Amino acid sequence: MRIDVLTIFPAMFDGFLGESLVAKGIEKGLMTVDVRDIRDFTENKHGKVDDAPFGGGAGMVMTPQPLADAIDSLRKDSPARTILLSPRGKPLTQMKARELSLEKRLILVCGRYEGVDERIARHWADEELSVGDFVLNGGEVAAMAVIEAVFRLLPGALGCGDSRREESFEEGLLEYPQYTRPENFRGHAVPQELLSGHHKQIREWRRNESIKKTAEMRPDLLEKRRGAAKISFSIALVHYPVAGKDGSEMVSSITTLDAHDFARLGKTYGANRAYMVTPVDEQRRLVERIIKHWREDDSLRRIDGRKSLAVEVLSTAVSVDEVMADAMGRSKRVRLLATSAGKIPGAVQPGAWRATAAGRAAGEEEWIILFGTAYGLGKSLMARADCVLSPVEGAGEFNHLPVRCASAIILDRLFGRSEKPGEELI
């Protein structure tokens, strides 16, 4: 990843970029950061970059010319997502940091004084970002926060990948309490659950403590998790392109159980559609016969009306492109969410994805959750995904769940309801 920073105080970044994990990441080539002085782009012979605001008022405003020329100059090299650090911007969250970490290049613009000329915000910046509901002297500290938050999410940035998965906000919850030696410090003992050596008991304790801490400190996060039911989504059981045993892409066969089970799965968790994706005409006709059978046979409708109702969400599609085109008739934007039985760099835990998707405008975006048959989704399809979910992992090394079982587990983690508020499965 490449990050360009525009500031009138470039020396502020010397210590930050030369220390700790960020410095090591730059040395390893995981990220490059180029800090540029905005004054280098001014046409004013005195290097002036500010002026009095039109309409009067206290303070000065950064003029548009140096910033516009600086951004234009940087964009000549390659496209870049340009972010203006501003107290009025959208909040920097863990989900936003994860979104930014998927970009190839960022330009961070550090405002100063009373702000930046509005024309820069509207016509040169792609978005405005804030690190909190408070005002700083300038955007430099905010830019450092963005750089560090994004850097930590790059593959290879942290020594232990699990540390990223278990920290605050990754699952839409605050992190559980941490303890280390000694076991008893000045009369304060470590909880016995952590000393038991019982892994399941430790996991349960950590989850419960995480929920308690979130309810105490950030109850709004629990409300966001409950808002996941509002997410607009469809599911697709993909039979092409899927991976064969040797990794090459192939077509797999549809079974009647695929159609019945996938329809009921989609209906149970509120999917708009449950697609069976295959380019094979005869396979699609098989599914269409099943749909017609359950819709039109009155005796079957009386025997099992619920299954008949479930089949109403079932559809066929030649390709994922056709699925996306169909979804575009319901939403302004369509995104692909891939699943995999293997560990994929940058994969997102269900709670983290749910918290991100739930915050998007209702009715404007639909996610298509892709489930692969055979040996999983084909590489070409995985490469197109906007996001990949972490795999379902069992108790041991064996990890070969049938796709219909794995699909049910994943959808329950994403959309299932718990008996106790706030205790949605992770």
Q: Which residue has the higher pLDDT, 11 or 157?
A: 11
Sequence length of the chain is: 426
Q: What is the largest CA-CA distance in the chain?
A: 87
Per-residue pLDDT tens over the stretch 150-189? 999 998 888 655 555 555 566 678 889 999 999 999 999 9
The answer, yes or no, to whether residue 425 has pLDDT greater than 50, is no
| Model pLDDT, residue 298 | 52
Per-residue pLDDT tens over the stretch 129-150? 999 999 999 999 999 999 999 9
pTM tops 0.85, yes or no: no
Per-residue pLDDT tens over the stretch 321-343? 999 999 998 888 899 999 998 88
Mean pLDDT of 271-285: 95
Residue 426 near residue 349 (C-beta atoms within 8 A)? yes
Mean pLDDT of 109-114: 94
Q: How far apart are CA 344 and CA 390, in angstroms?
A: 7
The answer, yes or no, to whether residue 226 has pLDDT greater than 70, is no
Domains and CATH numbers, the chain: 2-151 (3.40.1280.10), 229-415 (3.40.1280.10)
Kindly list the distances between the CA atom of residue 203 and the CA atoms of 191, 197, 237, 410, in Å, as whole numbers in the listed order.
13, 11, 32, 19
Per-residue pLDDT tens over the stretch 289-326? 988 887 776 554 444 545 457 888 999 999 999 999 99
Residue 97 near residue 153 (C-beta atoms within 8 A)? yes
Q: How far apart are CA 319 and CA 239, in angstroms?
A: 9
The pLDDT-based confidence of 411 (bands split at 50, 70, 90) is very high
User: Who's near 364: CB < 8 A, 6+ residues apart?
Assistant: 331, 332, 333
The pLDDT-based confidence of 212 (bands split at 50, 70, 90) is confident
State which amino acid sits at residue 281: D
Paired with 372 in beta bridges are: 238
